[in-house]
Amino acid sequence: MNLFALLDQAASRHADRGAVFVGTRQLHTWAQVRDRALALAATLRAAHEPGTRIAVASENRPEIVELMFATWAAECVIVPINYKLHALEMKQILDDSGAATVFASPKIAAGLTDVAVEVLDSAEYTARLAAEPSAPPRDTDPDALAWLFYTSGTTGRSKGAMLSHRNLMAMTVSHLADFDDPDADCSLVHGAPMSHGSGLYIAPYVLRGARQVIPESAAFEPDEFLDLCEQHPGCSSFLAPTMVQRLVATGRPRPANLRTVVYGGGPMYVDSLKKAMAAFGPIFVQLYGQGEAPMTITGLRRADHLNADDATLGSVGYARSGVDVAVVDADGAPAAVDEIGEIVCRGDVVMSGYWRNPDATAATLRKGWLRTGDMGSFDARGYLTLRDRSKDVVISGGSNIYPREVEEVLITHPEVTEACVVGAHDEEWGEVVVAFIVGTADAAELDAHLLERIARFKRPKRYHHVDELPKNSYGKVLKRALREQLAR
Ligand code: AMP
């Protein structure tokens, strides 16, 4: 099993149809993408053994698609690097993965001064495309590594989750079974970084021969994104919750061809989700996943959003096809309905471990189960609700307080645009709840708002008004940075 087969199929069935677009401009047909990938593969094979890591550090660019399939055709391992990382963070990933060849966009290459890189639109790169194409791979072991997925590192140094062809095929099948049903008259518009979520979704859409649309800006600009969803047919996209909010903030209606927005990777507050559905209609799908089980642990399908109560909208849905999901207590025994414990999962989608990191692997994979580090509970219907990562839970005077719950309420205040709740050390209580607020509502107004809606003991003892919340390059709020700020 080799993921190159997905491109091979698309090229056989849809040879002359447009495959890769930049903005509205068609760059290549499916037959051309296959030819380019096999030529690139020949040059990689000539230089590297199977299993060699090939890195690509670039903002969203069309070459990422062909390089991914070229790397797989050469039975090598792609290591996509988020373009928003600092050069030192990129260097850490390159060193850790031991990447033998590093492709980089001109912009990234300029910042990666002490690394030998090949620039994506250089003469060297173009010369590769003239090589005699390699034969498609025939006998790849399904468990061979396909992708080293570097985690976003919100809890420390970035680790490389080892994803095999089997893992990504399981993700692909599950996406097509649960979430979306594209065909050759559809498009995947890349809003989020192709090094992560948006790039993982290349596989299912290539299998169906759906267009790969890369915005001209190579990034996420809400108006440009919405324009592209007018101009391309049957558009789907994976977006982080903050990107969905930015689309809503444009005040524009749903573009005629925008069919599906998959959101996830971080909390989508119920209030924000309702606003998004009011603006764009029932096009939303939620995923809960992590690099270690790419895009696939639980989900809420489009239909699950219709006439749904707040408990459903605030949940992360139910187990994805082909995935076992459980909540376990501290001893690893299954938790009761509504009881909070650690979320674990298993299935073909789960990584085989962390690259060259047996200690982290042993701590995370237990008897085939992936320990997600996320806390949650199942309701009687099998809907899972996330209760923050275990380390984010605030224990104040012996009571567990789940920041997400307080944030959900704060965000419903009309004068709050963003809220983040963390614990701060306190002599008397052990920890107290502290809220960081973007918005103009003052402490008394916020207290009054909370007291009408949640238990008094969950109320923040302090509010800090800030212009913005610190976020990493994936748009995830850096709670650690806020806690450190409080400790200082
Ligand atoms: P990453 O591996 O960088 O994609 O981060 C995965 C983590 O993001 C998960 O372990 C969760 O803590 C969080 N996450 C992913 N999806 C969701 C979601 N739908 N709602 C809330 N948090 C999420």
Domain positions in the chain are: 4-378, 394-487
- From residue 218, give the alpha-carbon distance in Å to each of 18, 36, 42, 140, 298: 19, 21, 28, 33, 30
3-state SS, 320-344, equals CCCEEEEEECCCCCECCCCCCEEEE
Residues belonging to the chain: 488
Residue of the nearest CA to atom 6 in ligand 1?
Answer: 290
| Predicted local distance difference test score (pLDDT) of residue 153 | 58
- In terms of DSSP bridges, do strands 53-57 and 101-104 run parallel, antiparallel, or are they unpaired? parallel
Amino acid at 430: G
Strand 430-439 to 416-426 pairing:
antiparallel
Strands (E), 41-128: 53-57, 77-81, 101-104, 118-119
Residue 335, Cα to own-chain centre: how many angstroms? 27
pLDDT in the model for residue 466: 96
Task: Ligand 1, residue 389: give the atom nearest the CA.
Answer: 12
- The residue whose CB lies within 8 Å of the most ligand 1 atoms, and thus the one to mutate among 89, 290, 342, is 290
Q: Do residues 52 and 66 lie in contact, with contact meaning Cβ atoms separated by under 8 Å?
A: no
Quick one: the chain helix, strand, coil %, rounded to 5? Answer: 35, 30, 40
Q: Residue 217: enclosing H or E segment and its boundaries?
A: none
Which of 374, 384, 476 is the pocket-test mutation for ligand 1 (most atoms within 8 Å of CB)? Answer: 374
Angle between helices 4-13 and 30-47 (to 10 degrees): 150
Q: Is 345 left (phi over 0), alpha (psi -120 to 50) or beta?
A: beta
CB 411 within 8 A of CB 418: yes
Residue 303 DSSP code:
G
Q: 118 with 100: CB under 8 angstroms?
A: no
Q: What pLDDT shows up at residue 430?
A: 81
386 pocket-lining for ligand 1 (C-beta < 6 Å): yes
Each residue of 138-168: pLDDT tens digit? 999 999 999 999 986 555 578 999 999 999 9
Q: How far is the CA of 290 from the centre of ligand 1 (A)?
A: 5
In the chain, how long is the greatest CA-to-CA distance? 72
Question: For residue 394, which amino acid is it?
Answer: V
Q: 440 C-alpha to center of ligand 1: Å?
A: 29
* Nearest atom within ligand 1 for CA of residue 161: 2
CA–CA separation, 351 and 160 (whole Å): 10
**Is 125 buried (19+), middle (13-18) or exposed (0-12) by CB count in 10 A?**
middle
Atom 1 of ligand 1: nearest residue by CA position: 290
151 Cβ closer than 6 Å to some ligand 1 atom:
yes
Inter-residue long-range contacts of 131-135, CB under 8 Å, 24+ positions, other chains counted: 131/39, 131/40, 131/42, 131/43, 131/46, 132/39, 132/42, 133/35, 133/38, 133/39, 133/41, 133/42, 134/38, 134/39, 134/41, 134/42, 134/45, 134/73, 134/74, 135/38
Whole-number Å distance, alpha carbon 17 to ligand 1 midpoint, is 35
Domain 394-487 fold is GMP Synthetase; Chain A, domain 3 (3.30.300)
Tokens representing residue 382 in the block: 């099998």
Ligand 1 and 364: CB distance under 6 A: no
User: Per-residue pLDDT for the chain (488 aa), expressed as one digit of tens each?
Assistant: 999 999 999 999 999 999 999 999 999 999 999 999 999 999 999 999 999 999 999 999 999 999 999 999 999 999 999 888 888 889 999 999 999 999 999 999 999 988 899 999 899 999 999 999 999 999 999 999 999 999 865 555 789 999 999 999 999 999 999 999 999 999 999 999 999 999 999 999 999 999 999 999 999 999 999 999 999 999 999 999 989 999 999 999 999 999 999 999 888 999 999 999 999 999 999 999 999 999 999 999 999 999 999 999 999 999 999 999 999 998 899 999 999 999 999 999 999 999 999 999 999 999 999 999 999 999 999 999 998 777 788 888 777 888 988 999 999 999 999 999 999 988 888 889 999 999 999 999 999 999 888 888 899 999 999 999 998 877 788 888 999 888 88
What residues contact residue 312 under an 8 Å CB cut-off, 6+ apart?
A: 300, 304, 383
63-73 vs 4-13: helix axis angle to the nearest 10? 110
**For 405-430, what is each residue's pLDDT tens digit?**
899 999 999 999 999 999 998 888 88
Find, among 445, 443, 450, 433, the residue nearest to 395 by Cα. 433
SS (H, E, C) 59-82: CCCCHHHHHHHHHHHCCCEEEEEC
The CA–CA distances, whole Å, from 107 to 79, 117, 228, 295 equal 18, 12, 24, 28
Task: Quote the ligand 1 centre to 374 CA distance (angstroms).
Answer: 8
Q: How far is the CA of 267 from the centre of ligand 1 (A)?
A: 7
- Say if domain 4-378 classifies as CATH 3.30.110.60: no
